[in-house]
Amino acid sequence: MAATILDGNKIGDQIKAELTEQIRDLKNSGITPGLAAVLVGENPASQIYVRSKVKACESLGLYSEKIDMLADTSQERLLALVDSLNSRDEIDGILIQLPLPPQIDSKRVLEAVDPAKDVDGFHPVNVGHLVAGTPGLVPCTPAGIIEILTRSRIPIKGARAVVVGRSDIVGKPVAMLLLHQHATVTICHSRTRDLPAVAREGDILVAAMGKAAFLTGEFIKPGATVIDVGTNRLTTPEEIRHIFHDPSGPLEKLAAKGSVLVGDVQPEDVKEKASAYTPVPGGVGPLTISMLMSNTVKAARMRRGSRRNTAAA
């Protein structure tokens, strides 16, 4: 039986349709949720990401600002910008696009963002809420992974979940969210002994380590659900021949487009061994933007909606 493709575009569109109604209700009460996206430097991938986020805001009727800063911007100037955005009531979400240039301490900048406006969910206050299971703003990609699983009716409660990757952005928070959904969770990393054997224990396998097609068939339990978070760009025929069993299609794509996008899971092996999987592209990626929009609406409701309720009382 063929593996089920978990279509991130379709699920993302469902979430956006639900958000449209929430945004309409907020606007009827005089609140237009607002997002400020800050881009420092001219990283091409970052420019694409920020553009797509601003475009998503426009399509949903959210207020958005894109703030471009030069690559040599000082840390003090960036912190001053964050401080000014913190004080602006019409801005509900502040997005600092990573990576930042080397002269800037990313951690310090992210911690300067008001936790109530931290729509990326990276601030220690929101990390604390996540660990405690109390209301807060949750990192977008991990939140999107939970949406994919629940909306696809993949059982989480009681499942063995294996997360390969321990980053603060994906690995750790998705492990915590799965734990809150009553999965039994194992976090793996580069120093895990016999990584393939541990990965094969997962009814749900989340690949988030940033290595192209690293997880081959020997990592996948037959019938598992595989969530591939990786976005790795292949630009040479040698890379493609090394990864694909049948490189003919990807080589044609490389010739036409100049690159081929693959995840952290071997794309042919996952089709043979998994019962369901997220493709790359078109899997987790669209959910990340949908959940950013969701967090912006949530931040507006938590910040400004609560004040309206208090005033009305």
Whether residue 69 lies inside any domain: the answer is: yes
Is-contact 185 175, C-beta < 8 A? Answer: yes
What is the pLDDT, as a whole number, of residue 308?
A: 57
Whether 242 and 161 map to the same domain: the answer is yes
Cis before 99 (ω within 30)? yes
Question: Are 224 and 107 contained in the same domain?
Answer: no
Closest CA to 155 of 178, 187, 175, 171: 178
pLDDT at 256: 96
pLDDT the model gives residue 311: 46
Percent composition of the chain: helix, strand, coil (DSSP 3-state, to 5): 50, 15, 35
Q: Which of 16, 53, 172, 298 is catalytic?
A: 53
**Is residue 124 in some structural domain?**
no
In angstroms, the CA 209 to CA 167 distance is: 8
Examine residue 64 and state whether it is found in any structural domain, yes or no: yes
In-domain check, residue 97 = yes
Q: Among candidates 62, 53, 58, 52, which has minimal Cα distance to 24? A: 62
Is 66 a catalytic site residue? no
275 belongs to a structural domain:
yes
Q: Which two tokens stand for residue 62?
A: 């959210």
Catalytic: which of 92, 114, 118, 120? 120
pLDDT at 45: 85
Is 271 an annotated catalytic residue?
Answer: no
* pLDDT value, residue 307: 60
**Residue 99 near residue 128, CB atoms below 8 Å:** no
pLDDT at 313: 40
d(CA 50, CA 57): 11
- Same domain assignment for residues 113 and 178: no
Closest Cα to residue 300, out of 66, 22, 67, 18?
Answer: 22
Query: Do residues 153 and 272 share a domain?
Result: yes
| Residue in 97, 114, 228, 266 annotated catalytic | 97
Question: Would you call 97 a catalytic residue per the annotation?
Answer: yes
Cα–Cα distance for residue pair 221/74, rounded to 1 Å: 49
- Answer yes or no: are the C-beta atoms of 98 and 128 closer than 8 Å: no
pLDDT digits (tens, 9 = 90+) for 92-103: 999 999 999 999
Is residue 274 one of the residues assigned to a domain? Answer: yes
| Mode of pairing for the β-strands spanning 276-277 and 4-5 | parallel
CATH number at residue 263: 3.40.50.720
Q: What is the pLDDT of residue 304?
A: 86
**Domain holding 62: CATH number?**
3.40.50.10860
Per the structure, the complete domain to which residue 213 belongs is given by 140-283
Report how many domains make up the chain.
2
The tokens for 105 are 């301490």
CA distances from 159 to 184, 201, 271, 280 (A): 6, 10, 21, 24
Please list the ranges in the chain whose pLDDT falls under 70.
306-313
If asked whether residues 37 and 96 sit together in one domain, one would say yes
End-of-domain residue from the set 85, 118, 151: 118
